[in-house]
Amino acid sequence: MSIPPDSVGAVVAQRAHFDQPLPLKSGAVIPAYDLAFETYGTKNAAGSNAILVCHALSGSHHVAGHYADQPGNVGWWDNLVGPGRPLDTNRFFVVGVNNLGGCHGSTGPSSPNPATGKPWGADFPMVTVEDWVEAQARLADHLGIEAWAAVLGGSLGGMQALQWAISFPERVRHCLVIAAAPRLTAENIAFNEVARQAILTDPDFHGGNFYEFGVRPVRGLRLARMLGHITYLSDDQMAEKFGRKMRNDSPSYGFEVEFEIESYLRYQGDKFAGFFDANTYLLMTKALDYFDPALATGGNLQAALARARAKFLVASFSTDWRFSPSRSREIVNALVHNGQDVAYANLSSNFGHDSFLMEDRQYHAVMRAYLEGIGT
């Protein structure tokens, strides 16, 4: 496999250990924890060129490049990050981090609980977007980064970027909020709840302690992912890609895979269920549901964002119905009301919510233009 010259190339995952207990929003405390992270590019002497990339529901710290022993394992936002790419690692020191509660190397429900020696399982405390940002701030301290040149993310990652600007106004110079929302709608929470019920009712879930039974709730996880996946795509894109195409010329009048869309969803579900931790999925969806920075200001998003000192880029995608453009406009409107700096791109894209991961010409041009304007 040849490596494009604008790829960051082979990367190595790192891990930081934190001994200081982390008090969580729920009231629980994590006594100690590890965060898995990766970095690309070189930190300048002043530490003023650092950019944090926050991941969404199923992402990880592996944002760009590949592992030397796994050339096919390419980072989830590789098309954005690299030397000469829109997030240019020739200029910026880019940090990806796996969130607390994750299943890619950071402390999470599948990690051993120091109190019992067994996996945390159901005992792993609920983590919120605010908690993640607190943990990420400690990673910033660890890396000697006083203030991020930018914090960016898509979807749930965009919510973290927004939370950063609110929680640590003096530590974020630019905030890039892509395909996100200031809080989920009831419909959105409803999708998450169906996904959670699929996992929670799987007999192999064992109340979250399936590790000790040597099983995994793959059926529930698979269903959760199939449902989620539908909501990340657009009707147009599905029609174009699959339509009513069938595998055979004539219908079989049974329940085996027949329509191409069925085959695709089952494949996606199986693939995801093969590696993702069910408890992490539950936690991530709950973090999405709980996210509501305006709650502390009586539902007033303007007041919540008034603390922010960052300049903002907000972007949405025309066919994204899970995090629709109007939700991004809520953020933009609140910022304009406050007299804050914001650029907003509402991008035409066929790929629904997943558009934020795609390499669209206008999208990437907007990202490049905005990021080029950030001083280091």
Tell me the catalytic residues.
155, 320, 353
Query: CB-wise, 33 or 317, nearer to other proteins?
Result: 317
Choosing from 342, 349, 353, 355, the residue that interacts with other proteins (CB under 8 A) is: 342
Choosing from 142, 247, 271, 337, the residue that interacts with other proteins (CB under 8 A) is: 337
Choosing from 94, 127, 345, 357, the residue that interacts with other proteins (CB under 8 A) is: 345
Widest Cα–Cα separation across the chain = 67
**372 binds other proteins, rule: CB under 8 A:** yes
Choosing from 169, 341, 350, 358, the residue that interacts with other proteins (CB under 8 A) is: 341
**376 binds other proteins, rule: CB under 8 A:** no
**238 binds other proteins, rule: CB under 8 A:** no
- State the distance between the two ends of the chain, measured CA to CA, in whole angstroms: 34
The least distance separating other proteins from the CB of residue 320, rounded to whole angstroms, comes to: 14
Site string for other proteins, 287-326 (x = CB under 8 A): --------------------------x-------------
**97 binds other proteins, rule: CB under 8 A:** no
Query: CB-wise, 229 or 309, nearer to other proteins?
Result: 309
- Whether 148 and 311 have beta carbons less than 8 Å apart is answered as no
Q: Interface residues with other proteins (CB under 8 A)?
A: 313, 329, 332-333, 336-337, 339, 341-346, 348, 362, 365-366, 369-370, 372-373
